[in-house]
Structure 1
Amino acid sequence: MDWKIELIHVPVTDVDRAKEFYERIGFNPDHDQQVSDDVRFVQMTPPGSACSIAFGTGVGGTLEPGKQDTIQVVVPDADEALAHLRSVGAEAQGVDEQPWGRFVTFADPDGNSWTLQQLPAWSAGATG
C-alpha cells in the first residue's frame, strides 16, 4: 500500500497576502473557495510537486501563524532557487553548504520558514 503526503497546512494571518506571496514565488493556485462565511480554503502547489499546501480561514490545525518551520523541499539547483526567490522579492538566505546537501531558506510574510535542499551528487535520487 502506498502512502502519499499530498497536503500540508500552513497557518497564515492574511489569506490574500499569503496567496499573493506563494503565487509570486511560483506556486500554482489550485483552489480558492469561500465555503461559508467562516470558511475559506486555498490550496497551492509548488512547481513539479505532488504535495500541495493549504491555508485559509476556518481550516487547518492548531499551529499558530509563523510557527511552521518543518517543510523541506528538494530542488535541482540551490543557486538557481536562491536567485529565483530573490528575483521575485522574497528574502532568502543561502546557500548553506553541508555534506548532506546545499540549503536555501526563506520565510513567507507570516514567518513560516521553508528549507530548500539540493541533494548531494552521491545521494541516491540526487537531482543536481
Structure 2
Amino acid sequence: MDWTLEVIVVPVSDIARSIGFYRDKLGFVQDFETDSGGVHFTQFTPPGSGCSIVFGNGPGMSAMQPGSLKGLQLVVSDVKAAREELIGRGAEVGDVTVFDERDGGTFFGFDDPDGNSWAVQQIKARADKPLIPRS
C-alpha cells in the first residue's frame, strides 16, 4: 500500500502577503484559492513536487501559531542554481553550507515572512532520477 504525503498546513498571519511570497518569490504554483463565507485558504505546489502546502483560515488551519513550522525541506538537483533563482526572485536566503561532501550533504535555508523555516537540500541524483517522473 502506498502512503503519500500530499498536503502540509503552513501557519501564516497574512494570507495575501504569503500568497505573494510563495508565488512570486519562490515560484510555487498556486493550485487554487477559496475565499467564500468567511473561509479563505489557498494551496501551492513547488514545481516537480507531489506534496503541496496550504494556508489560510480553513478548517484546522489555526492550530499552530504563524511562524511555528520549522524544518520543512525541499530537494533540488543543483543547490547553487536554486539559490540564485530565489535571489533573482527577490527572496532572502542563507548561504550554502556543505555538511558532507557526499550527495545530499549540501544545504541552504530561508524563512517565509512569518518565520516558518525551510531547508533546501542538494541531491544531484535527482537531475536524472526525479521522484516524480516528468511527462
Give the TM-score of the pair, scaled to structure 2.
Answer: 0.84
Give the Cα–Cα distance (whole angstroms) in 1 for the partners of residues 89 and 10 of structure 2: 21
Which residue is equivalent to 2:131?
none
Give the Cα–Cα distance (whole angstroms) in 2 for the partners of residues 43 and 35 of structure 1: 15
User: What is the correspondence of 1:72-83 to structure 2 with a 5 Å cutoff?
Assistant: 72-83=73-84
Which residue is equivalent to 2:113?
109
Q: Work out whether 1:98 is the aligned partner of 2:102.
A: no
**Structure 1 stretches of 5 or more lacking a match?**
none
Which residue is equivalent to 1:20?
20
Aligned-residue sequence identity (percent) comes to: 44
User: What is the correspondence of 1:54-69 to structure 2 with a 5 Å cutoff?
Assistant: 54-59=54-59, 60-69=61-70
Which residue is equivalent to 1:48?
48
Query: What root-mean-square deviation, in Å, do the aligned CA atoms of Structure 1 and Structure 2 show?
Result: 1.4
Contact 2:15/2:41, CA 8 A, preserved across alignment:
no
**Structure 2 stretches of 5 or more lacking a match?**
128-135
Contact 1:35/1:41, CA 8 A, preserved across alignment:
no
Give the Cα–Cα distance (whole angstroms) in 2 for the partners of residues 62 and 33 of structure 1: 19
Give the Cα–Cα distance (whole angstroms) in 1 for the partners of residues 71 and 83 of structure 2: 19
Give the TM-score of the pair, scaled to structure 1.
Answer: 0.89
1:40-59 C-alpha deviation (Å, 9 max, x unpaired): 12000001101000001144
Give the Cα–Cα distance (whole angstroms) in 1 for the partners of residues 121 and 105 of structure 2: 6
Where in structure 1 do 4 or more consecutive aligned residues deviate above 6 Å?
none
Counterpart AA for 2:120: L
Shift of 1:85: 1.1
